[in-house]
Structure 1
Amino acid sequence: MPPHSAPRWTLHVAAALLASFAVAGCEVTVTEPGATSTASKGTSSTRTGDEARKRLAELTVAKAGSMRGYSREKFPHWRSAGSNCDVRDTVLKRDGTKVKVSGCNVVAGTWVSAYDGDKITDPAKVDIDHMVPLANAWRSGAATWTTDRRGDFANDLDDPQLVAVSAASNRSKGDQDPSTWKPERTASWCQYAQDWVAVKSKWKLTVTTAEKSALTDMLEKCR
């Protein structure tokens, strides 16, 4: 996925604490307490391996659809997001620690990529990954959606769909599903599989046989 496209593992969702104000009043340093779980990331996220297995069993298994007609432009992002410039800035602010903003732009902070453990201190070098890639969503049901619905999916902040990660891991993942790509950190597999299933379940997307098998194996890490 491109650098600006898109964890429960690196989420920092707690209420922002205003730490300091610039003299001009336009810059603010925001510190958000760290967390090791993204359970509060989205209302539809699965919270246990058993729940994820149940949801996975309920997903429709189907062959991957055609990529005919696909383009990222059919999933408009990033949307404006109130006090933040856009959804990208919202995720950067949410997933980082000691985040500093200028106006509505995130200009500094620290991010730990759940996929490979990389520590990043330059927001421009952080990618926002779509947990279920846009192209994968297209192949598993989104091709029939309206552009507005695809935009809702691409900007989904209510579910574990958007994750701040390293550019290297995001580009390595591309549009692959868990049958062909898994995070480098095996310790993240349980949460990754739970999040993937949560998104596919919420948006009623299909899974392939290989994808379901890989997710089943990854959920074994939840024991």
Structure 2
Amino acid sequence: MVFSFLTATPLVHALAAPAPAPSPPGVPSASTAKSELASLTVATQGSQDGYSRALFPHWITQSGTCNTREVVLKRDGTNVVQSSSCAATSGSWYSPYDGATWTAASDVDIDHLVPLSNAWKSGAASWTTARRRAFANDLTNPQLLAVTDSINVSKGDSGPEDWKPPLTLYYCTYAKMWVKVKSVYSLTITSAEKSALTSMLNTC
């Protein structure tokens, strides 16, 4: 009985422990994000005319046989095992948007934090293809994140004025990442977007 009790206790603790949220690179502090937000240009959102996801070449090869999606799956997952072709064959992924944990890579999407069409309407329409490619595959800034596929679909092309993560505890981090990406790429924001981001940063 003693042996069973001692071995069961760590298991209970392990099950109760929250899954670690993935931490993309380049997430600024709240104070830095607020400063960056104040510096962003507020403008009416541009036209969707001419937009196509194909204008943002994504999931390009990063090294060897590994493309951007596979690199992010490895980065954001736990105990991820990859095949010789770099496909994730096992592991677990905690989605910070909704708190769900998945053990099949097929249940996980790589979200473009600032959606490609939002970027198009806030400045990227005038970019070169090379710059749009860099934006769509950015592993240096917090632009890519492994999340539950259905949540990514529900987000669609929405900005924070129209969509926020189901987990309110993630508002702070989400807003910090959004502001960082828009700042790095000199993208504009709408007044409604700025208001939503301000409210979200106030939860930090």
TM-score w.r.t. structure 1 length? 0.80
Report the CA distance shift for 1:128/1:37 in structure 2 as closer, same or farther (over 3 A).
closer
User: Which 4+ stretches in 1 moved above 3 angstroms?
Assistant: 34-37
1:127 aligns with 2:115: no
Aligned 1:90-169 pairs, distance under 5 A: 90-103=71-84, 104-169=86-151
1:210 aligns with 2:171: no
Percent identity over paired residues: 52
Q: Counterpart of 1:196?
A: 178
TM-score w.r.t. structure 2 length? 0.88
1:64 aligns with 2:45: yes
Q: Look at both structures and tell me which one has the larger radius of gyration over its CA atoms.
A: 2
Indicate if the aligned counterparts of 2:113 and 2:145 stay in contact, CA closer than 8 A: yes
Shift of 1:37: 6.3
SS at match of 1:221: coil
Shift of 1:148: 1.1
Indicate if the aligned counterparts of 1:84 and 1:105 stay in contact, CA closer than 8 A: no
Tell me how far apart the structure 2 counterparts of residues 107 and 135 of structure 1 sit (CA, whole Å). Answer: 31
**Unpaired stretches in structure 2, ≥5 consecutive residues:** 1-18
Shift of 1:195: 0.2
Equivalent in 20, 29, 35 of residue 54 of structure 1:
35
Tell me how far apart the structure 1 counterparts of residues 149 and 197 of structure 2 sit (CA, whole Å). Answer: 23
Shift of 1:209: 0.1
Indicate if the aligned counterparts of 2:20 and 2:94 stay in contact, CA closer than 8 A: no
Q: Counterpart of 2:25?
A: 42
Q: Counterpart of 2:153?
A: 171
RMSD over aligned CA atoms reads 1.2
Tell me how far apart the structure 2 counterparts of residues 185 and 116 of structure 1 sit (CA, whole Å). Answer: 5
Tell me how far apart the structure 1 counterparts of residues 89 and 99 of structure 2 sit (CA, whole Å). Answer: 21
Tell me how far apart the structure 2 counterparts of residues 117 and 37 of structure 1 sit (CA, whole Å). Answer: 11
Shift of 1:188: 0.2
Shift of 1:85: 1.8
